[in-house]
Amino acid sequence: MTDAPILTVNNLSVAYEGGGTSHTIIDGVSFTLRRGEILGIVGESGSGKSMTCRALMRLLPSSRLRVTGGSVWLEDGRDVLSLSQGELTQVRGRRIGMIFQNPASHLDPVMSIGRQIAESIRHHRKIGRKEAWARMLDILRQVGIPDPESRANAYTHEFSGGMRQRAMIAVALACDPDILIADEPTTALDVTVQAQILRLLQQLRDERGLSIIFITHDLGVVYQLCDTVAVMYAGRLCEYGAMHEVIHRPRHHYTAGLVACQPGSEGGTGRVHTIPGQPPSPGDMPPGCRFHPRCGAADALCAARQPPLRETHEGHACACHHPVGIEAEAEA
Ligand SMILES: Nc1ncnc2c1ncn2[C@@H]1O[C@H](COP(=O)(O)OP(=O)(O)OP(=O)(O)O)[C@@H](O)[C@H]1O
């Protein structure tokens, strides 16, 4: 991993506008991604993980959703949010690739896997069919698809779940992007195949210097894969830092709750912990810290004022008025 950021997301905000009202769905999210870094974005369902990544690629799923503020800087100094449509198409294939939970719905069922990849290569690069086909075979090899010469002619339905995900990764890598956004790509796979795909992503990072944003609700996956982690709650970042720091010394009470919910965190009692209550809905956000109605440490300040995301230790930031362990450490 190098220090130079390859992507810098600043204060990104998204609103849903409809029926004469507007709700903020993503509220001032900021993070950086460095070359060769794997960043995990984690949080409960609806916390805004996918929307953040879709917004930074300008791929919002509805015309009622709008980016209302922020910037998304690429390494070359361009802001994705200000690009023309033509530039954006180039960035999506050549700078940023994306893979999803359900590859079948993103792959063309009536075109062979090999042709899909080769055509995608030719769409972005001015090269002949033969060269594109050879490059496609090379990519199939890199993503671990056995016997690429014959598998290239197969169709999506002829692939198993794990092989489909490998094919989707191959499509995303066709134009040699610097960044891969992976939205829950292993959630539908069984544990063994999931581990194989995680190993493949690590290998692509090691061999190609690929930077990866990995969206998941599973802290166990973050632990296996990521260098850094951003924890989202109700559309905001609540904690951000090096993975080991955040998981072993969570500062935000929400992150501490997520860690305690992991299987194996029950201290031998056999009881699986859950965070009481439900996350708020976008039209009904509580004032102050959005987590305060569910937080055992909340007081009047938490209910009144939104805590800013600030550094508690070098490279570890948390948005909490009463971070876990901070007073105890100061007294020690
Ligand atoms: N098409 C849409 N139109 C309006 N609001 C949406 C749309 N899709 C998602 N939302 C809302 O945006 C918020 C963030 O959703 P998002 O899908 O980013 O969450 P997530 O953390 O990725 O959840 P999950 O793990 O379930 O995918 C949620 O409140 C959700 O209801």
Instruction: Say if ligand 1 is within 6 A of residue 258 CB.
Output: no
**Which pLDDT value is given to residue 332?**
45
Least confident of 30-44, 188-202, 206-220, 270-284: 270-284
Please, which pLDDT band fits residue 296 given cuts at 50, 70 and 90? Answer: very high
| pLDDT tens column, 41-65 | 999 999 999 999 999 999 998 999 9
Average pLDDT of the segment spanning 157-166 = 90
Residue 268, pLDDT > 70, answer no
Q: Is 224 left (phi over 0), alpha (psi -120 to 50) or beta?
A: alpha
Question: Which pLDDT band, with edges at 50, 70 and 90, does 331 fall under?
Answer: very low
ipTM of this complex prediction, to 2 decimal places? 0.95
Residue 92: predicted pLDDT: 85
Report the nearest-CA residue for atom 26 of ligand 1. Answer: 45
Evaluate: CB of 282 within 6 angstroms of ligand 1: yes
Q: Is 20 helix (H, G, I), strand (E, B) or coil?
A: coil
Residue in this structure with the two tokens 């090096």, named with its chain if needed:
242
How many beta carbons lie within 10 A of that of residue 68, not counting itself? 16
- Whole-number pLDDT of residue 18: 86
* Cα distances (angstroms) measured from residue 72 to each of 30, 86, 98, 310: 9, 17, 16, 20
Q: Can you tell me the mean pLDDT for 213-223?
A: 93
**In the predicted structure, residue 140 carries a pLDDT above the cut 80:** yes
Q: What is the spatial distance between Cα 225 and Cα 130, in angstroms, rounded to a whole number?
A: 36
What would the mean pLDDT of 198-206 be, rounded to a whole number? 94
Binding site membership of 267 for ligand 1 (Cβ less than 6 Å): no
Mean pLDDT lowest for which of 1-5, 193-197, 212-216, 275-279? 1-5
Place of tokens 């190609």: 208
Please give the full DSSP string across 91-118, using - where no structure is assigned. Answer: IIIIIEEEE-S-GGGGS-TTS-HHHHHH
Query: Does the pLDDT value for residue 267 go beyond 60?
Result: no
Residue 300 clears pLDDT 90, i.e. is over it: yes
Ligand 1: centre distance to CA 42 (Å): 13
H or E stretch at 329: helix 326-331
Q: How far is the CA of 51 from the centre of ligand 1 (A)?
A: 6
Mean pLDDT of 285-311: 95
What is the arithmetic mean of pLDDT over 138-159?
Answer: 92
- The CB density around residue 317, as the number of other CB atoms within 10 Å, is 22
**Average pLDDT value for the chain:** 90
Domains located in the chain, CATH noted: 5-101+178-281 (3.40.50.300)
pLDDT tops 60 at residue 270: no
For the Cβ of 48 lying below 6 angstroms from any atom of ligand 1, the answer is yes
pLDDT, tens only, 11-35: 999 999 988 889 999 999 999 999 9
Atom of ligand 1 nearest to the CA of 48: 18
pLDDT band at 2 (very low <50, low <70, confident <90, very high): low
pLDDT tens digits, residue range 62-118? Answer: 999 999 999 999 999 999 999 999 999 888 878 999 988 888 788 899 999 999 999
